[in-house]
Amino acid sequence: MWTLIRYPEKADWKNWLKRPDSDAARIRQRVEEILSSVRAKGDKALLELTAELDGVHLDRLALAVPDPKTIARRLPAGLLQAIDLAMANIRKFHEAQLTDTVEVETMPGIRCWQKSLPIESVGLYIPGGSAPLFSTLMMLAVPARIAGCRQLVVCSPPMPDGQLHPALLYVAGVCEIPVIYRVGGAQAIAAMAWGTETIPRVDKIFGPGNRYVTMAKQLLQQEGIAIDMPAGPSEVAVLGDSSCPPEFAAADLLSQAEHGPDSQVILVSTDESWIQAVEAALHTQLSALPRQEIAAHALSHSKAFLMKDEEQAIELLNAYAPEHLILACRNAHTLANKILHAGSVFIGQYAPESVGDYASGTNHTLPTAGYARAWSGVHLDSFRKKISFQELTLEGLRAIGPAVETLALAEGLQAHQQAVAIRLQYTKNSC
């Protein structure tokens, strides 16, 4: 089912912690072909690619979002209540991230401040394919609205009948999104980056996706298109011990494995018998999953690590930098303080990763493939930009001017020095 690595030497960690082979060269070539087609043919290319890749023939891309009260009648009451609860928690967590303007007087007569402003137009990519991830729209649209973004452009691949899941439409309606564009994959990313006859160009693109979507985002970033982060196939790492029922850990691992065949799950423990118990629970639970074939494929390139102690286990996990990290062990709180690299951390045996995916309030759009070493998950400031301001009185310029002149001349930038000197000389002569 997976590879068990007993007491790996640190020199070998890099090889053991590799993500599944992505066949990057082939994916890049295909994505470049898709990008070129969209750039050249716009909407026509999007319709052709939707027919070719999704098997759905559309006559138009845009789908108007009905009033949420109308869509609500098509959803089970329990699902509606769950969506509303999740959105309330997401809203509460992200509203808490709102900050006031930062202002400071660095010297007498020199006042500096920083102001947060919303990014005007953002593109939200909502994966579909084998599972309609309307939860991702909650995670992106709610903070975008809190941040004050004026335009939310949403793209999501259609279902086989050409429609979109009613829960996706409901969330869009609640978030006051008037239209969703029925297009997925790398072609959707290209459309939002450049704009087409139908889909507006945006200033920044958000949303997870498969390797093709991630490659498209990375290639377009090289052209100056802002993206949230590289967010490819999903992954989870679980650090556990006998204090956690093995069935819990198995369920957490499968919750990520079922995302897609290129997902990866990692189990880490200092107790080999517990690892074996988790593997047995995996077999039992996997056999009952509707998506067992997908999950089994993901498990085939996943790994379990038996480590000599918790310190080494934490060091290994920091080297892996997982998207999701579950600490299902006795001293989880203490160990959580030692985590340096992770997208989102779940503490204790009663914090399943799926709670963060849906409803606790934290954002589930997170860096994968080790990018958690340098990237954060989506948060409120992802949808905002910060502008700095400064205002100087004559007193302030006289106080700081000589230092600026000295620094500018030391770098050989005389015009910089002159911009200060001319003001000081002018005010001296006018006195």
Binding-site positions for substrate = 234, 256, 259, 324, 357, 411, 416
Strand ranges, E, within 119-178 = 121-125, 151-155
Q: What is the DSSP letter of 309?
A: S
Distance CA 173, CA 135 (A): 14
Instruction: Supply the residues annotated as catalytic.
Output: 323-324
Length of the chain: 431
> How far, rounded to the nearest angstrom, does the alpha carbon of residue 301 sit from its chain's CA centroid?
23
Q: Which residues belong to the annotated binding site for NAD(+)?
A: 125, 187, 210
Q: Which residues belong to the annotated binding site?
A: 125, 187, 210, 234, 256, 259, 324, 357, 411, 416
Q: Which residues belong to the annotated binding site for Zn(2+)?
A: 256, 259, 357, 416
Distance CA 273, CA 96 (A): 43
Identify whether the C-beta of residue 299 lies closer than 8 Å to the C-beta of residue 323: no
Query: What b/e string do you get for 129-160 counting C-beta neighbours within 10 Å, with b at 16 or more?
Result: beebbbbbbbbbbbbbbbbebeebbbbbbbbe
Give the closest residue to 353 by CA, choosing from 244, 256, 213, 223.
Answer: 256
Q: What is the DSSP letter of 182?
A: -
Instruction: Dig out the tokens for 401 from the structure.
Output: 């001017």
Distance CA 126, CA 132 (A): 8
Long-range own/partner contacts, residues 247-250 (CB < 8 A, 24 or more apart):
247/281, 247/285, 248/328, 248/349, 248/352, 249/278, 249/281, 249/326, 249/328, 250/278, 250/279, 250/281, 250/282, 250/284, 250/285
Strand ranges, E, within 53-177 = 62-64, 102-107, 110-118, 121-125, 151-155
Distance CA 327, CA 186 (A): 34
